[in-house]
Chains A and B, each alone.
Chain A
């Protein structure tokens, strides 16, 4: 369904001119962002709650930009930033009474909206939510509904809106869309959405079983030059711009207190993986365990942010 009320800009957007000579000298290891972290190292997360006073709960989340971005800023070789880092804001409105026209519901009715800002990605997004944004909304809803104790608010609704201000790249910008063109950045965005929404729900004082946090792990085959048969390696919290090819990735929403997964989204071929000796896990199990480890890491940040917000409210009253 197209938006017919506004005069919209071109759907495709424009690309900055890139000279072929620049590209040929520039493609290679020196311009592509390289992962500086260990495979199990996570990016730092900035998470703050209660920034939007009109909402009953809100949070703002930011991932640490990759080291290559700072290097490119100080020593610019190109107009195009080498990588992007996730920034998103989440608001929670409710619990509020359902409209009169709505049918009776014995549980809290959860609605989730995930929207990219038009400027969030390298390619402009329209004002109407597209299918990937709706898909993210369904994933987020599944993740949160398992954590919220919904029967304590009969006949009420809860609206969760996530605005993505800066999205993760699906690949390095210089790479042509290729066989590994799946939207890997979306999985990082979902993990961020889950953690931020969880903090915002806690900020709105809505009862949950546990703080649910999101984590991403991926199987990455980076060194295609050495030997094509090299098995992909497991990495936690991958930035897709830093890797040549991501074979498969997995995002989970995880509740550490119960050791339960409320949302699992795994895609790609996880049949081959190089694991440590004696590790009997198959590829997908290693991937899920890795994502759970990443979620545990995000949970520590989440718990700290919620504690901070609680201390703030206690100090005010």
Chain B
């Protein structure tokens, strides 16, 4: 039990022998051209099947299945809730001033509150207060509510009203109905299979797709009236406005998009995306990087980075022949000469697995982020791929 708890922050360590780990590490750390167990290129994702709007009882939903059999379903539900008025908002409304340019533009009533988005993750074999689900949901929620397009300075009282809102305040601004009412968003993530690999990429992609397909009923009331909605589901508006023609990629960059969280590992000098279970087991460093599209510049911007505890620190070490009593006298002494591993800066005998120690160099982190963010890089590829999934 305690072993599961311990490993829960990274993922379960697969039961690989030190020899297998060393083999994996050596082939993944080959300079410039890592050889992955499934033959993918370093930036290639596993094939997946995706569909959205599968649950009629939700505002938006999606299912993604990876080829290895892991599947996740995400349902997004929205509820109307009364905004708790703060003293600041009260003071300005008593003053009778209609303009809310300076005093209330930063208040919760105008630009939303992070706690309006609630996220829960259900992973089989884990209690909902175990470290892994808590860590994953915090990681995904923080980039979701943090993705403010600009400082919320012009997130006025019009939120949720007209169809082509540009989502001034990001997702939080979009949830504002008027000064007294807002939407509360429940995002429920269900992993259907055992977490074979670290489930973050799967859950993040599914959540992204579900949010893209989320629709909120059209508001009929105006201004500060109690909200009253059109009961025709056909005219409901997307939470994240969609471009009218999906093929125009240049047009799509103007729309705010939910963030995606990518799992990136470094092995030796190589940077590898979407690691499988075996690959993550030998990683030197594991980073979860959340990105979204920058609406002004059109390129990608970084929302959050978190290190994930690499499971390679928990693996069993191997014993070199020179220290192995059973091999005494059987090997020539020249066979295991410890050499310096340039990536970790430690003495290692080639082919003998040592659990990883220490952290990650700053240059490696900068390199990982650059690979995600660069024009035409992995981040853009993923966002475009998800945009292409048919929503209807």
Contacts and interface: CB of A to CB of B under 8 A. Distances in A.
Interface of A: 1, 18, 20, 23-24, 27, 98-99, 101-103, 105-107, 109-111, 129, 131-132, 134-135, 137-139, 141-142, 145-147, 149-151, 157, 176-182, 209, 221, 228, 245, 247, 250, 253-255, 258-271, 283-285, 288-289, 292
Given A179-B148, A228-B151, A261 B2 contact: no
Contact of B359 (A101, A176, A260, A267): A260
A177 to B, nearest CB: 5
B358 to A, nearest CB: 5
A265 B306 contact: yes
Contacts of A292: 362
Contacts of B306: 139, 264-266
* Chain B: number of interface residues, binned into ranges: 35 or more
Given A105-B314, A258-B359, 9 more contacts: A106-B316, A111-B5, A177-B108, A179-B151, A179-B169, A259-B362, A264-B365, A267-B305, A271-B301
A103 B138 CA distance: 29
B9 interface: yes
A271 B150 CA distance: 11
Contact of B112 (A138, A179, A255): A179
Contacts of B357: 146, 149, 209
A42 B327 CA distance: 55
B146 A182 contact: yes
Most buried by B among A138, A283, A288: A138
Nearest to A181: B114
Contacts of A228: 151, 153
B303 to A, nearest CB: 7
A134 B134 contact: yes
Given A179-B148, A179-B169, A269-B303, A142 B308 contact: yes
Contacts, number: 191
Contacts of B314: 105, 107, 150
Interface stretch (B39-47, B81-89, B224-232): B81-89
Contacts of B153: 228
Contact of B9 (A142, A176, A247): A142
Contacts of B355: 107, 150-151
Contacts of A259: 361-362
Interface of A is mostly: mixed
Contact of B131 (A137, A178, A264, A271): A137
B294 to A, nearest CB: 6
B150 to A, nearest CB: 9
Nearest to A99: B2
Interface in B108-129: 108, 111-115, 128-129
Contacts of B308: 142
B193 to A, nearest CB: 23
Given A106-B317, A135-B134, A269 B365 contact: no
B238 interface: no
Contacts of A178: 106-108, 111, 113, 152
B359 A138 contact: no
B30 interface: no
A141 B359 contact: no
Contact of B3 (A103, A134, A284): A103
A55 to B, nearest CB: 20
Contact of B317 (A151, A157, A180, A285): A151
A260 B358 contact: yes
A315 B99 CA distance: 70
Contacts of A250: 305
B70 to A, nearest CB: 22
